[in-house]
Structure 1
Amino acid sequence: MPPPLKSWKNSFTALENMYEKHFKGAPNPPAVSPTTAALLSVFFTVVYVLPFYLSSATRPSPQLTRDAPSSIRARIRAVTSSSIFSVALTIFVLHQSAHLSAADILRLLGLWPVSPVDSAKTILLVAILFAGPLFEQGIVDGQLKDWVRGRDVIQTLGTWTGYRNYVVGPVSEELIWRAMIIPLHILAGFSAKSIIFLTPLYFGIAHVHHLYEFRLTHPRTPLLLAVLRSLFQFTYTSLFGFFAAFVFMRTGNVYSVILAHTFCNWMGLPRFYGRVGVQPGEPIGPPGKGDEQPGSGHVHGPAWTLAYYVLLVAGAAGFYWQLFPLTESSHALPGAPNMG
Structure 2
Amino acid sequence: MPPPVKGWRDRLSALGHMYEKHIKGAPKAPAISPSAAALLSVVFTLIYVVPFYLSPATRPSPQLTRDAPSSIRARVRAVTFSSVLSVGLTVFVLHQYGDASAQEILKLFGFWPISLLDTARTLLLVAILFAGPLFERGLVDGGLKDWIRGRHVYQVLSSWIGYRNYVVGPVSEELIWRSLIIPLHVLAHFSGKQIIFLTPLYFGIAHIHHLYEFRLTHPQTPLLLAVLRSLFQFTYTSLFGFFAAFVFLRTGNVYSAILAHTFCNWMGLPRLYGRVGVEAGEPIGPPVAGNKNDDDDAPRYQSKGIMWTATYYMLLVAGAVGFYWQLFPLTESNHALPVILREK
The Cα shift of 1:336 comes to 4.1
Counterpart-to-counterpart distance in 1, 2:165 and 2:311: 30
Cα RMSD for the two superposed structures: 2.0
**1:323 aligned residue:** 327
Q: Check the 8 A contact 2:147/2:153 in 1, yes or no.
A: yes
**1:230 aligned residue:** 230
Whichever residue aligns with residue 256 of structure 1, its letter is S
SS of aligned partner of 1:98: coil
Whichever residue aligns with residue 321 of structure 1, its letter is W
The Cα shift of 1:285 comes to 6.5
Whichever residue aligns with residue 28 of structure 2, its letter is N
State the identity %. 75
Q: Check the 8 A contact 2:273/2:280 in 1, yes or no.
A: no
SS of aligned partner of 2:166: helix
The Cα shift of 1:33 comes to 1.3
SS of aligned partner of 1:262: helix
SS of aligned partner of 2:228: helix
**1:67 aligned residue:** 67
Specify which of 275, 298, 301 is matched with residue 305 of structure 2: 301
**1:198 aligned residue:** 198
Whichever residue aligns with residue 214 of structure 2, its letter is F
**1:81 aligned residue:** 81
Q: Check the 8 A contact 2:274/2:284 in 1, yes or no.
A: no
Q: Check the 8 A contact 1:249/1:336 in 2, yes or no.
A: no
Specify which of 310, 315, 318 is matched with residue 314 of structure 1: 318
In structure 2, the CA distance between the partners of 1:71 and 1:90, relative to structure 1 (3 Å rule), is same
**1:151 aligned residue:** 151
The Cα shift of 1:280 comes to 3.7
**1:272 aligned residue:** 272
SS of aligned partner of 1:58: coil
In the TM superposition, 1:57-206 aligns within 5 A as 57-206=57-206
SS of aligned partner of 1:331: coil
Counterpart-to-counterpart distance in 2, 1:261 and 1:160: 18
The Cα shift of 1:317 comes to 0.2
**1:5 aligned residue:** none
**1:13 aligned residue:** none
Greater Cα shift, 296-305 or 158-167: 296-305
Whichever residue aligns with residue 79 of structure 2, its letter is V
Whichever residue aligns with residue 298 of structure 1, its letter is Q
Whichever residue aligns with residue 172 of structure 2, its letter is S
Alignment length, in residue pairs? 317
Counterpart-to-counterpart distance in 2, 1:316 and 1:284: 23
SS of aligned partner of 2:62: coil
Q: Check the 8 A contact 1:248/1:256 in 2, yes or no.
A: yes
SS of aligned partner of 1:240: helix
**1:53 aligned residue:** 53
The Cα shift of 1:149 comes to 0.4
Counterpart-to-counterpart distance in 1, 2:339 and 2:77: 35
Q: Check the 8 A contact 1:284/1:299 in 2, yes or no.
A: no
Counterpart-to-counterpart distance in 2, 1:192 and 1:256: 18
The Cα shift of 1:299 comes to 2.5
Whichever residue aligns with residue 306 of structure 1, its letter is A
Spell out, residue by residue over 1:125-164, the C-alpha distance to the aligned partner (whole angstroms, 9 max, x if none). Answer: 0000000000000000000000000000000000000000
Spell out, residue by residue over 1:179-218, the C-alpha distance to the aligned partner (whole angstroms, 9 max, x if none). Answer: 0000000110100110000000000000000000000000
Spell out, residue by residue over 1:255-312, the C-alpha distance to the aligned partner (whole angstroms, 9 max, x if none). Answer: 00000000000000000000000114668763599xxxxx863222110000000000
Q: Check the 8 A contact 1:203/1:241 in 2, yes or no.
A: yes
Normalising by structure 1, we get a TM-score of 0.89
Q: Check the 8 A contact 2:271/2:280 in 1, yes or no.
A: no
Whichever residue aligns with residue 260 of structure 2, its letter is A
The Cα shift of 1:104 comes to 0.6
In structure 2, the CA distance between the partners of 1:34 and 1:128, relative to structure 1 (3 Å rule), is same
In structure 2, the CA distance between the partners of 1:281 and 1:191, relative to structure 1 (3 Å rule), is closer
The Cα shift of 1:75 comes to 0.3
Whichever residue aligns with residue 119 of structure 2, its letter is S
**2:10 aligned residue:** none
Q: Check the 8 A contact 2:275/2:282 in 1, yes or no.
A: no
Structure 2 residue runs of 5 or longer lacking an equivalent are 1-14, 290-298
Counterpart-to-counterpart distance in 2, 1:253 and 1:237: 20
Counterpart-to-counterpart distance in 2, 1:117 and 1:173: 23
In structure 2, the CA distance between the partners of 1:282 and 1:305, relative to structure 1 (3 Å rule), is closer
The Cα shift of 1:115 comes to 0.4
Counterpart-to-counterpart distance in 1, 2:287 and 2:69: 41
Counterpart-to-counterpart distance in 2, 1:146 and 1:99: 50
Spell out, residue by residue over 1:223-268, the C-alpha distance to the aligned partner (whole angstroms, 9 max, x if none). Answer: 0000000000000000000000000000000000000000000000
